[in-house]
Structure 1
Amino acid sequence: MEHDVIVVGVGGMGAAAADALAGRGQRVLALEQFGLAHARGSSHGSTRIVRQAYFESPDYLPLLRRAYQLWDALPPALALHRVGCLVLGHADSPVLTGAAATAARCGVAVQTLTAAEVRRRFPAFRPGDDEAALLEPDAGFVRPELTVAHLAGRARQRGARVLTDQRVLAWEVTGDGVAVRTRDAVHRAARLVLAAGAWTPALAGSLGIPIRVERRVMHFFTPSEPGRFAPARMPTFIWDLAAGDSLYGFPLDGADGVKVGFHNRGPVIDPDRLQPDGSAEEVDEMRAVLDRHLPGAAGRLVRSTGCLYASTPDEDFVLGLVPGLDDRVVVAAGFSGHGFKFVPVVGEVVADLVVEGTTPFDLGFLAPTRFAATADP
């Protein structure tokens, strides 16, 4: 065969997988249906938060610790920018209490702040007196588009073929490997990595992995008083506004201004339909929240851009070998709006599974088979 492994999708996860596999001497073909670092999926928007006080689950901590090491090994423009992360909410907020619990259990350095302390140290924020916060100083942000371009470029330097404008229509396991069909050709390899993001449901329907695709909007504003929102005075943040409704954001970032978005608000969509920019109603909705919580942030609108979440029912990832296919197919999908921080370690894990058939990380809670027990008969 011409290739050892085919990677479908060259967003953050696919680029990292192609890079790691090529780095281990695998003959890699990576297929991307759009251009590199495109804005149709989930690996764009200038910045992504990276943190370890992980309210989602402490089970992610081994992966996060390795991800930190790998981020720091990248060129300075791509490495983790440590501006901190502030988690805010009421005392019973599951986001705030979950972050504190993970920090305590896993030894993540954090600081507990009252609302008054937040207002004094970080004047961009206006929490109510009945709210509190947790500051993780070692958290920060990374650059998604630059990361994808770098990893795909390094994969090519290591010998991978990275092809763009190659939409995958179907795949199948054959007698000696896998066959992947695009509009132009049928490609064959010993193994397959499905890292197609929001397009995974169309390609992995037979695998019984439930993924819903939702639209989110990232808003960028020039604040009225830029000094209050500079990285030296404002960390990244996640604000638990109410049950199942959180706001996230980043400090001032050059011409992009301050970036903010709602983590939970957005409709289920078809990823094949070009998503519109944020509507006037969506911008007004964000302005109203910012006027209350970060007064002065919502100055001149720079842009409002759509982004896709590919989410599982439990909002944990799907990462592992697909059983029953002779260890030929690895799925890396369903990153549920909190996956980009894991990009470099996911690439490493995928390479482990393809080359060795196993990985030192415990992936049981991310297993592709975990939904089988709840599937309809």
Structure 2
Amino acid sequence: MSRWIGGNTFRLLENGEEFFPRVFECIAAAKHEVLVETFILFEDKVGNELHSALLKAAARGVHVDVTIDDYGSPDLSHEFISTLTEAGVRLHAFDPGPKLWGWRTNLFRRMHRKIVVIDGKRAFVGGINYSADHLADFGPQAKQDYAVEMEGPIVGTIHTFVSKALAAGQRNAGVTLTARLRDKVSAHAHNLAESWRGATPGSTADADSGGAAIFVTRDNRKHTNDIERHYRIAIRAAQKRVVIANAYFFPGYRLLKEMRKAARRGVEVVLILQGEPDMPIVKTAASLLYHHLLDAGVRVYEYCERPLHGKVAVFDDELATVGSSNLDPLSLALNLEANVIIKDRAFNQHLSERLEHLMANSCKQIGHEDLPQAGRWHTVRNFFLFHLLRRYPAWGGWLPAHAPHITPAFNRLTSQTIANGADKVTQA
């Protein structure tokens, strides 16, 4: 998954208004298989529309596997789940945990990916969950976010990853894999090779034969810092500009250092962060870094129209990334994430234009005059902050870890009562 795979096409999808209709349209056209991973699935108008699309696909004989995170999607009703499972949809809950006095205990190491794969030939990756707060008509708290639709050999890599993740999670849970699932995983590389005219998923293809991409994931075993490492490499290689739009921003020391070094060597480094956050702590944490960033020449913008939920970036004129990973301790040190690194000049230009539009129309640039005057407390605070940033990607490994498992969602329902009115997850 660390090699460039060429011959792909990419389409930027901004917010739920573009993302949901396109995903539902592709599910409606699916002939063989639909794979979905999401952190949040709420039983609102968006979740119900996905529910309907999946039921119709299953009724046509399409094999449907949906994996939700147990922490992010805790409140699905018995009827919502049972109608899916009775139709043949395999609905899985990632790493369910028991409640203690009504409180959920499985707080960390969540499955935060947002992936859709249709028939092994089309994939979507990004930061958009299945909830109505990704639509503008939700109101002032509607989220600004992005995803990318892909066709080409990179889809084979993503399909294999999702299939193997599902199989591994079921093995960890002690679930016996069906012969169909075993055969599907083992035969997948051959099938995709046929579909893409000899391009084996995961192999290096000619980057000039179409847009190239790398599918990058983060887990708590072998790939603990892959996404952060790709960010650092891209920033280090940048010659002209870096624009990063990220919802939850509190990066580790090495990533922060690369941003400052790039700005000091003359690269235009721009950050678009939350100005109207869904949680106040998000802005508070990011603002602790503003002096440090501005002193190095990094430009900081706050998006003030509504909560920013995007996790995208562009580097120079060709490279871009879209995915689920924030630049904060949860995403960089604990959660399971997925990003796509895209090498495509047209895609880079389009995403750049959308980010420029955001800055010009909905953002406030932050200057030194907007910050509290630095004093003795500022110096002391920065000393401790420096050491926190330097260490936190490592301390993620100190927290209790286990082999995460995937449980059929209907089993989860029958083994515990889903509390009505449980707190909804706001950070995703």
Fold match, TM over 0.5? no
TM-score, normalised to structure 1, is 0.26
TM-score (norm: length of structure 2): 0.23
Question: Could you say which structure has the higher strand fraction?
Answer: 1
